[in-house]
Amino acid sequence: MSSAATARQLPGAGDATTRTQRAATVAAFVSHGLLFASWSAHIPQVKDHVGLSDGSLGLALLGAPVGSVAAMLVVARVLPALGSKRMVQISLLGYSLAGPLVGLAGSLPELFAALFAWGAFQGTLDVSMNTQAVTVERAASRPLMSGFHACWSIGAFAGAGIGALGVAAGLSLTRQLLALAVPVLLIAGWLTMRMLPDPAAPAIGDYKSPGRAGAAGNRRMTGQPTPDRHRAIRLSRPVLILGAIAFASMLCEGASADWASVYLRGSIHVGAAVAGLGYTGFAMMMVLARLSGNRLLSRFRCERLLPVLAAVATAGFTAGLLAGGSVAVIAGFGCLGIGLALVIPTVNSAAGRLPGMSPGTAIAMVSAWGWAGFVFGPPIIGQLASATSLTVALGVLPVLTACIAAGTARALALRGCGAGPETNPASHAQEQARAPGSSHGHCRSAAG
């Protein structure tokens, strides 16, 4: 189904490109990043308040990502029935109210449980707002996902600053999060009333023969996967490929967040202030690339643009590690930010267009893979560094970005995404015959 046809069939979709409706999705992304990052500055105070060692704190901090991944697996079943609009509203309320409980925890089990609950709402909001973003993007008939994720990064940057100011002012985590919850619920909550209903899942043809895709495909089209189909969706080739790309990207992102400063400080022997520039450069270049992403995806296809950006990350980060100087390493992390910036937005957008699958279900499964990479990335790098050196361990990152370059160039689910000449129909049919269940060409509607 074309995006234009989708827009005509959606209630209220004629207004889908108005500022208010796009602002609703932007508000959800900003709110998610704002609340997520605003508590990071309070972690030392929470650690002292609960009386935790470094090891116990690390165990407690696993609560949030574990809760997120667990929630995403549940949301994969629930979201198609409730719709992304209602799920955004429910999860935004829960996310705003569960955060203050973290500051009230008085023991390790309580802190883990509070972070698990907060992470569960965080993961639910992540999936539901990305699903709504796909709906808005399809109705607008042009790329928007990169801009939405740039807004998340901006919200996270603002949240980190607010958290630092809160700590300096002696404001407790609970009071700070309650104070932030008020504008989030009043502004973002009100804007969510203008969100669009989700369309049905994209039509799916007969997988065995492209020539039989007509009536048979229409009979097999469904917007809400039955319980018997959830396992098939989780194990379908397009979901696994997109999930693997998301896993590799988020592993690199998590490793950069946790190890950039450590590497610059311990291996390059720079000062503490300079060491902090490693991840700062990564995050800044990621934001800039995402702000440019909508325009780039309007000019270039995904299968051409993403491999080039990933190649920049591979070459730049490898050169930084080999050069070994502080400037080269910081620049290498900046190249890594450029190379990864558009991966998660584009993968989520592609997942939301997989034929025969509910957008929410596919996005939930791919997001769960991504968050797993974010969780396991830092420990993997740490174990490799213990066995070899941190320089060698970080060498895994350009290997993964090279895999991302190859994967995004060949993934059929990403074919035709972005601008460029139309794919040859005969080639499209041949590729579908070779790879049943692929979503070749369905991202094209976002390019306009």
pLDDT digits (tens, 9 = 90+) for 139-169: 888 888 999 999 988 988 888 888 888 888 8
Tell which wins on pLDDT, 316 or 446. 316
Confidence of residue 426 (pLDDT cuts 50, 70, 90): very low
Confidence of residue 218 (pLDDT cuts 50, 70, 90): very low
Asked whether 446 and 3 are in contact (CB, 8 A), the reply is yes
pLDDT value for 231:
52
Domain boundaries, the chain: 11-194, 230-446
Does the structure show a pLDDT above 70 at 439?
A: no
Tell which wins on pLDDT, 133 or 15. 133
pLDDT value for 335:
97
pLDDT digits (tens, 9 = 90+) for 236-252: 888 999 999 999 999 99
Does the structure show a pLDDT above 90 at 275?
A: no
- Give the chain's mean pLDDT: 81
pLDDT value for 208:
35
Q: Look up residue 58 and give its two tokens.
A: 């690390």
pLDDT digits (tens, 9 = 90+) for 301-356: 988 999 999 999 999 999 999 998 999 999 999 999 999 999 999 999 998 888 87
Two domains, one topology: 11-194 and 230-446 = yes
Q: Which residue type, as a one-letter code, is found at position 264?
A: L
Among residues 403, 395, 299, which one has the least CA distance to residue 343? 403
Q: Which of 11-15, 66-70, 107-111, 209-213 has the lowest mean pLDDT?
A: 209-213
Does the structure show a pLDDT above 80 at 228?
A: no
- CATH superfamily of domain region 230-446: MFS general substrate transporter like domains (1.20.1250.20)
Alpha carbon of residue 113 to chain centroid? 24
pLDDT value for 417:
66
- CATH superfamily of domain region 11-194: MFS general substrate transporter like domains (1.20.1250.20)
> What gap in Å lies between CA 158 and CA 365, rounded to an integer?
29
